[in-house]
Structure 1
Amino acid sequence: MLSRKIRNVANSLGLLADKMPDEETRGYLKVCRNELVDAADMAVEFETTPLLFGCDFAREVPRG
C-alpha cells in the first residue's frame, strides 16, 4: 500500500521530468524519482516481512 503510493509519486516525477525544457531541472527530478523508486522497493520489503514480536535482534544467539 505505502510502496504503491511512493511508486505513483515517482512515476509522476518521471513524467514531469520528461516535460522540463532544461537539462538541469530534468536531471534533478530524475534523481528524486530514482530515490523514490528505491524507497518504494524498501517499502515492499517492510510490507512483506512478517512481524516478530518480542525479538531482540541485537542479542547473541546461543550456539549449542
Structure 2
Amino acid sequence: MSDETPDAGPLADLWGRAETAWAMSDFPEYGSPAWDALDESDPRKLAAMLSAAEKWHQATGGDPWGSA
C-alpha cells in the first residue's frame, strides 16, 4: 500500500468544469450518440451523467432506497 496521497487536482478541475457545463445546460443528452462521441475527459460527459442522475432522483421521489 502506498503512503502517497493522490493528486486530486485533475479530478477537481474536471468536476468544476462539469458543474459549469451542467449549470449552463451545455451538454448532450446522456446516452445519445453525441454524448457517446465525447471524449472521456470532456466535462460535458460528466455533466450529462449528473443531469440524468438528478432526473432519475426526481422521478423516483428523491429517495432511491425508499427510506422513510
TM-score bracket, normalised by the shorter chain, equals 0.3 to 0.5
Whose Rg is larger? 1
Give the TM-score taking structure 2 as reference length: 0.35
TM-score by length of 1: 0.36
Q: Which has the higher helix share?
A: 1
